Structure 1
């Protein structure tokens, strides 16, 4: 079977698929509160077009698919895409990243369509702070989504918590306790400068060594573990006797590029080898041609850099490539 191996010997088995750049929140680390311009709907790949791209990916050895946005559940009929992906040969895992606001009433339907598990964004456990960070929505809807996902069997459930200096770092202890007392998998994530290298990012950036310092202060005994299904670049720990785990995803302070196994498909049809750099290859002209589509995947590997150099940006050093100007929501989280 063909394999997708780049110049640095990294084997790619994972495709992240964005289905929309729209979102029903305006999280302060992701997009501005007002004035965000979204794509016209006719620019988006249709579900059948996405499945055609994914068919090529499957032939070339991709086994894991994650559906992202924006918020993927704002796009109607997402179960159609999930069921199409589930029918591809060799698929091991289909997951979805969501802010949770629309998940609870759809959880069973998505599971039936073929979705295996979910990552739910949850940056705070405080309702007032939720309003500050997300600028919209209600925390209780997200907590209901966690329960509904568990009831539907969309497990393991991972909670994505972007740590922001001066905003939610005082909640690290609460999230650690959550992983101790419930079978949930908290993922602390460093704030990344995707599409906006500004003072807001620099002032709120927090290296994740802070999490281990807090665990030590609380007297927790930690075991480093492999982590649940799809642990990706996370450095995973279990508090001894804990029901869940917590993980550190630190792309800036300790990048994991040497083990990168993923490509990204943006909602407007661009194959993206690296989240951070500007390079993209549009798939639309290759639709209908198996040979041309496969060629695009191999070209993506050829132009994929060795690493993203975010740490160099933080240190004020020069970079070897051009960073993207697209926001995370426009690429796919």
Structure 2
């Protein structure tokens, strides 16, 4: 039975756990130009603390956990915490979001540790544009990481692509062809406002415009999801292929009414929304010797206080602690 039901009747079965605030890329839509202040090592949750919190969440009804960052693969020996999480009774899905740079070295160990679902970020198929977005020359490593993930045998590999009008929207058809060539699933994400990421409405391409461009060349057939934990994407199959495309419509057609997500930051705070300002400090409770029932009560409070829906874009971009890399996506 799920104990994590908010005031609007939403049941929370999905927890995103950030295992680090560090990243080996500097994506412009994720991190402010001046960078972010990183936490000291002792401020970051240990693997024991992550496992204990995760077990409490699963006891309360969480059935899917996604390991995130920053970039989770820069956390030393991250496979160990994945293995621990995968062994929690009643957890049904263990996923990871990564930029893919280190997958060539890590994919087999992650699969062995129980990770079944991978989401890999790739916002362009052009090396020079990749460098402009990420401020790093890691395009080839990312492509090798995607290829390795597909060859390793993960049950699910998806590509996440943030679409910015006037910047990479001219690659939508290229991405569709890329998906067809590799029988991949690609999810196009509307550009979201975070503090310091330069968001403005001119850069926002609503999913209907993306879909119209892709349908100029490909027939898209709506897909019914069979996932135990439903996702936010509007999903389609490209006719005549094993590829699928999804659209995550945070800005133009938000899915707050069906949101089932909670987030745990790398320094041990629960966030009940990607854009929430208030966070609930579980690390302080853990390190002060609090028993599980006190931690459970704090988690329930976080759920009860969840917004019905997030504020409008013009308000979101002003929120100074609303920085993507610090939240974990």
What TM-score do the two structures reach when normalised by structure 1? 0.92
* Cα deviations by residue, 1:189-209 (Å, 9 ceiling, x for unpaired): 0111123475x4434222122
The Cα of 1:19 is off from its aligned counterpart by 0.8
Structure 1 residue aligned with 2:219: 221
Q: Would you say 1:102 and 2:102 are equivalent positions?
A: yes
Listed as ranges, the matches of 1:1-333 within 5 Å are: 1-196=1-196, 198=198, 200-218=199-217, 220-227=218-225, 229=227, 232-287=231-286, 288-309=290-311, 312-314=312-314, 323=319, 325-333=321-329
Which whole-Å CA distance do the structure 1 matches of 2:69 and 2:298 have between them?
Answer: 22
* Cα deviations by residue, 1:202-227 (Å, 9 ceiling, x for unpaired): 34222122211112322x22210025
Which whole-Å CA distance do the structure 2 matches of 1:324 and 1:242 have between them?
Answer: 44
Distance 1:228 1:163, change over 3 A: farther
The Cα of 1:35 is off from its aligned counterpart by 4.0
Distance 1:133 1:2, change over 3 A: closer
Q: How many residues align?
A: 324
Unaligned runs of at least 5 residues, structure 2: none
Which whole-Å CA distance do the structure 2 matches of 1:280 and 1:113 have between them?
Answer: 30
Distance 1:42 1:313, change over 3 A: same
Distance 1:37 1:228, change over 3 A: farther
* 8 Å CA contact retained: 1:25, 1:137: no
Distance 1:2 1:232, change over 3 A: closer
The Cα of 1:332 is off from its aligned counterpart by 0.8
Taking only aligned residues, the RMSD between alpha carbons, in angstroms, comes to 1.8
